[in-house]
Structure 1
Amino acid sequence: MIVIYRVLLCFLTILGASCASGPKSINVSTLEEDQEDDDEGKDSNSKSAAYSGKVSANNKLLTFSITNSPLSSFQVDRRKAAELSNELESDLKRATAKEKRELVALMGLKRLAGADLQVVFNIARKIILNELKIDISRSIPESAMLELALTAIQKRNFSMADHWLGEISGSRNKRVLAAADTARGMIELLSDRLPEALYYWNEALKHFRNFEPARLNIGFFALKYGDFETAKKMLGNMQNDWFALTGVLQAERLANRPKKVDSLCDRVKSKKKTYKPALFSCALNTYQGLGQLDKAKEELSKVAQVDGPPTEVDEKAFIVIGRIEEEKGSKAK
């Protein structure tokens, strides 16, 4: 997924990790609510309880990437997001300040469903009007401003995104600061300024060392350009995820450690048996790294039998099978 193969790297609440060659990819993460919001909205009868597993579990903001790819472990089901947003929106018709978190979650769901920027902005407007009824000095929550920035990025309105990111630049919440810099990195990436994107993702880690969206982006970015040591450093502590684990696998291949790769292949396959990029890489390792021609041929044949993208892997698998046959023929002579 993001072995950042030409993808929209992951970033905070929105963007995700990039993935294997080609399609623009995505990523998912959660962002803790603003510190100053912690004393509000915790009513046990709040509608949040009904959506805890779908929208804002444990008072965390649902966040995903602006793009989607079946090659990534971080995927957004836009249809499901739309269904949930409609369901939640119905429950929040008379929302008060106590449902602030639910309204921010609704902003996120609308964004994930591809709603227009104005739709998301109108929800933010409802939040601030509710806040002003309590205290005229209150402002819109940082989490809502972040959602507005992410929606603006998704719609390629970078000037508006920059405005909202600037509004949260003085946050005391380290995750918010990391999210903002990761988002800035996405703006740079979408503007074809890769060094600047990398700079902002590294800045994000200065705020929050284990901020996964930034680590995924840097890890797959490094992998794409051959810096396998950085790739392992960034992705190594996320090996419970098959997509990140595939990135580590690719890094070990670059480092020419076939036995280590073979071990990682077993782990990836146990988590995701139908992930073609990983299956193909493992078959190549069996062939080129371990020199086991018959086993490699068998593994490559299985790659082509797996349905789904990327279909170009199927063609590559058959080409390698042909090379194996030629090599076996030469040895037989």
Structure 2
Amino acid sequence: MAMTSGLFRELDNHTLEHTTISKDLRQGSPFLHAMTFLTETASITANKMVDMTKQYGSSSAQNHTAFNIAFDTDLPFYAYSSKDPKLSTQLAGSMKFFGVGGELHLKHLVNGYDWESLGDAKVVDVGGSQGHASIALASTFPNLSFIVQDLPEVIDRAKKARTTSPPDPAVASRVSFEVHNFFQPQPPSSHSADVFLARLVLNNWHDNEAASILRNLVSVMKPSARFVIMSAVLPDPGVVNLREEAIERTRDMFMMQAMNGTERGLLEWKDLFKQTDQRLILKKMTKPEGSNLSVLEVVLGEES
């Protein structure tokens, strides 16, 4: 089975050799971290879903999840992972590994929105983790500058990563990192932002919490600013091929099992914007070819 799945290669009846897959697993890589995350965290969490519904019912609290039961903790998923170096490494590696996969590749963010039209613009990357999205955009669009916001431990890891594997100086000079909790009011540095970017952020949260995040951004938005949200927009059943639908439904399930988060369909996204602020308008939505994620542009309209 290991050979037919591509894990090893049989040279003859007595000799095996490594393949690219087994070398990645042996030497340590984002692929290794992704596989260990799926086997040691995601699968164990999924097994506690029935217990989750029995114990917590319809609670949307982030620490009322299958993950909490599986790992016997009262901490929400990200708070727990921030205190567990092994899980933090697995999670960061998984995000990097799946980020370079075809359907979630950052090229879809780079090519899926008209960044060029912004001219000299400031982008605040909300919950931007290690800054992969900002660095990819800054590498392509020299007129854009970025502030990557995340929690202290995440920003600390991001800064350490920059010292060990620094980006091109011309890119690094336009990507800064800032400690910020997006449930708190935005700091002064972001008040002049032209774009608030949220890639794979709001799906981690139930509607009430997601609306709270967005309200903190709306409160400092200048009239010409906009949200650029890159996330799944769930299709109606049977609209896309089964493989694509399976990937999106599986991700939706894990969001619920680990964080009480959710993936949203188009109507659910519109309801979230309405719940946040009646002025918010979904101006445009595109789904880049080959991507599992869509790009939503949201702007402020007139007071109704």
**If the length of structure 2 is used for normalisation, what is the TM-score?**
0.29
- Tell me which protein shows more helix as a share of its residues: 1
Q: Max radius of gyration: which structure?
A: 1
- Tell me which protein shows more strand as a share of its residues: 2
